[in-house]
Chains A and B, each alone.
Chain A
């Protein structure tokens, strides 16, 4: 029972890493970025190359994966995404789906179409039992790492100058702009960090979710569910949503394997009907 809970939390944490960037960019710029998973994939492949080919230690490869995805994200933001900020949602959907198609094929071309894996160091493999709960070492690492990052994100958002600007911009971009906040720059920075976190999630999640060129398509729905359920106005929303989703998905498969993916889709639609702005969003709709 507790083991299932533990696995669910780890799974939820990976989802949070993957999706939190998406929810912030959506909240800030009202940008529907279906290609978010492509940045996660970039981070994953980056980790694979670093660890397997170049022999970089796994733990050192994680920040590098973050940096690489963040840089790629920044480059795309400045060159391509900035042109679609002001376009309609339909345009953004078309644009980002196009990017997904291109990313899938490009990775297939460069890295081949089969599954790849990050080779884990020995000390992260296997598991131990603590008070009757089976704890996988790797999953423990994920929980600790993602937990720390989530807390750090929350602190940055709530305490720092950057955070208060960001919150102001999310609340009302136009007024924030008027107050002299550089919303465009803020957005680019957020986009880069969001992509970097996705990349880190991709690198961490490869072990659990697998990694192949169709990654952005396969998991797009999961990201969207997290964002839908969690809302786009804070970090805590997607965080709690990811945990709920992770735990209910894992527990659903354990206790009710016949229901399969029904659980998460039903949650998503139910939440959308009940609270279209997300479960944890403030009541004020924008």
Chain B
């Protein structure tokens, strides 16, 4: 506590302020992050009930929740989630592994970079989903084409992040490896990959976001299951509540992916804990 008067300033230890549990709850981060969505939902509900908001496009949150509970009871929602998650995960693996390999290879070899990067950079601006018709022509309309299109989307994110990570590794670490006579493979394993890991995780994070976007669109074609299919189907039959359930589920999946990735990152990059390099 600081008490200031004309002739002196007195700085003393703070008294232990014991705030009431209620005021502590109101000030907590968790409360703030939950409060604002709840306020919005309540407002929404009120507007629909008061016929100020068109329930055909913006069904009352309560009716969406009822629909969600119905779908949970029937178990259908879990089947859709399982399919979408499996497509995302398989596609992510399919894209992340080559993305990592190419990123490390190009990052450490200026020669390979000179030859390969222009080609990859030229493909990058193409919206990935625009390749989907071609992918379906090649791989059929089944699940393979969905894995491939998710893989393509993830590949670019992981590739560019890994490349940036490897190129940004402080040159001194490569000098040390060279001075210690590390072989090429040892340099990849002990310097390039661990040094680029923080960037690689950023790439995975962006990649999973892309994967979800792509899979939702791709599930419009050649399948009868998946959260994306559910959203498109509800559009065709004008069942807006199902659409909202789909949107909630997709948002929830995205959140879970990011949470898992964060956990993984903490386990794999223990030296990043303090936020240092």
Query: Do A and B interact?
Result: no
